Amino acid sequence: MKNTKAVAAVAALLLVSVVLGENMGVSSISAAISAAVSDATRPKTDTARDLDRKPAETLAFAGIKPGDKVADYAAGSGYFTRLFSAVVGAKGRVYAVVPGALLMYPNIVKGIAEVQTFSMKHPNVSVTVADALEGIKYPEKLDLFWISQNYHDLKDPFMGPVDMTAFNKAVFAALKPGGIYVVLDHSAVAGAPADVTDTLHRIEKTVVLREVEAAGFKLDSESTLLANPADPRMAGVFDKSIRGHTDQFVLKFRKPVR
């Protein structure tokens, strides 16, 4: 009987590990990530978004750790910049980048001003406003390049659009061998027209996979943490019916060591 119970307990633990592995790509959340998310000094505007963004699990999936050199591309209001800063610590570095074309939006102007204020008290953060491709040039090789809910924007007319082949090759060059490239974005329906990135602010996951892998990256893993099968993916991401609850994919690519 005891052996049967022991076997059942082990099986249960294995099942939990499998579920965590499928959803997170990791088996646990580091102390550094937990401390960053639970930091009482985080702005209320950030913590109010935690339920939808699941930062602890998402950062654990990315594998960010103390000492890492990270780029937060299209950093917006700095939600992830502030978390990255706390996780990488004094020996790490966070490059918050804002493509200049995004400054046409008042909320981006306000958000980046807040990030600049934050960087004044957090010397491991630097803020850069630059052309889309110029913003991928850093003084050192990165451990992680992160772009959240903005990959689709790069394809829109107001951004150029950006040459995605050149963009992803630049990310590849910016990373260390073995470095990580995370793309988190709103899902579009299969076969969506190309302008869905502009009309609904969504993109097909297969498009991202094709473009990023063409630059030499290998898909490391995928997370369903932010997936929402109930989202019909036919409404814009700012529509009241779905805002904050869109179906999102999180793809983790790795630059080959050789």
Q: What is the DSSP secondary-structure string of 29-95?
A: --HHHHHHHH-TTS-HHHHTTHHHH-HHHHHHHHT--TT-EEEEET-TTSHHHHHHHHHH-TT-EEE
pLDDT band at 5 (very low <50, low <70, confident <90, very high): very low
pTM of the model: 0.88
CA dihedral 255, 98, 227, 25 (to 10 degrees): 30
- The string of pLDDT tens digits covering residues 151-205 is 999 999 999 999 999 999 999 999 999 999 999 999 999 999 999 999 999 999 9
Residue type, 151: Y
Q: What is the pLDDT of residue 105?
A: 87
Q: Alpha-carbon distance 239 to 241, whole Å?
A: 5
Q: Are 83 and 37 a contacting pair, CB within 8 Å? A: yes
Q: The CATH number of 27-254 is which of 3.40.30.10, 3.40.50.150, 3.40.190.80, 3.65.10.10?
A: 3.40.50.150
Residue entry with tokens 């950030």: 46
Check pLDDT > 60 for residue 22: no
Average pLDDT over every residue of 224-233:
96
Residue type, 70: V
Average pLDDT value over all residues in the chain: 90
pLDDT band at 3 (very low <50, low <70, confident <90, very high): very low
- The string of pLDDT tens digits covering residues 204-214 is 999 999 999 99
- The domain locations on the chain are 27-254
